[in-house]
Amino acid sequence: MLSQAMQDAINEQIKNELYSAYLYLSMAAYAEEDNLPGFAHWMKAQAQEEVEHAMKFFNYVTERGGRVVLQAIDQPPVEFASPTDLFEKTLEHERHVTSLIHDLYALALKENDYASQVMLQWFIEEQVEEEANAAQILATLKMAGDKGNPLVMLDRALASREG
């Protein structure tokens, strides 16, 4: 059984994961409008992954006999200055999510909640990957710039992301 504090914290994280999905959909809409279908594809895939993360937390709460209480999701930003800005914001957001996961893990340690520690280890590893992916794309964008053939080539590469 989850403690009330752990249940409340995971319910908050479900909201945060769904906000992440919303943010990436907003970024996808920006990319579509900016005629960058590969960027939009990458962001839509990222949004879907965030929904999967929310459901992983959702299912965990119910498996542990807790109750999921969904919370309101804030509106994400809708304007971005450039493709580089898009991925600067992506990396910044993923670093924020990493800090939230670390906070959950610290709570699980404090509560001697070993099952939650094990579950959260998956998310810790996932965040290492998320940050690395965003940082790599951002580094490529900074080398290539926000216009011209390099951007078109990167857009095509991002279109090949699976699921």
Residues 96-142: tens digit of each pLDDT = 999 999 999 999 999 999 999 999 999 999 999 999 999 999 999 88
CA atoms of 148 and 143, how far apart (whole Å):
12
The residue type of 126 is E
Neighbours of 65 (CB within 10 A): 9
CA atoms of 150 and 140, how far apart (whole Å):
9
Evaluate whether residue 61 is within a structural domain.
yes
Note down the domain range covering 35. 4-158
Place of tokens 């960027």: 39
pLDDT band at 163 (very low <50, low <70, confident <90, very high): low
CA atoms of 31 and 40, how far apart (whole Å):
5
Evaluate whether residue 8 is within a structural domain.
yes
Contacts of 139 (CB under 8 A, 6+ apart): none
User: Looking at residue 150, what is its pLDDT?
Assistant: 77
Poorest-pLDDT segment among 35-44, 104-113, 148-157? 148-157
Q: Which H or E run includes 35? A: none
Evaluate whether residue 163 is within a structural domain.
no
- SS3 of 69, please? coil
DSSP annotation of 159 reads: T
CA atoms of 118 and 56, how far apart (whole Å):
13
Mean pLDDT (the chain) is 94
User: Looking at residue 26, what is its pLDDT?
Assistant: 98
User: Looking at residue 131, what is its pLDDT?
Assistant: 98
pLDDT band at 155 (very low <50, low <70, confident <90, very high): confident
CATH code at 60?
1.20.1260.10
Residue 47 has pLDDT above 80, yes or no: yes
Average pLDDT (13-25) is 98
Q: Is pTM, for the whole model, over 0.85?
A: yes
Number of structural domains (the chain) is 1
Average pLDDT (6-29) is 98
CB-count exposure of residue 2 (10 Å: 0-12, 13-18, 19+): buried
Residue 58 has pLDDT above 70, yes or no: yes
Poorest-pLDDT segment among 9-18, 72-81, 151-160? 151-160
**Contact yes or no for 86/79 (Cβ under 8 A):** no
User: Looking at residue 78, what is its pLDDT?
Assistant: 97
112: left (phi over 0), alpha (psi -120 to 50) or beta: left
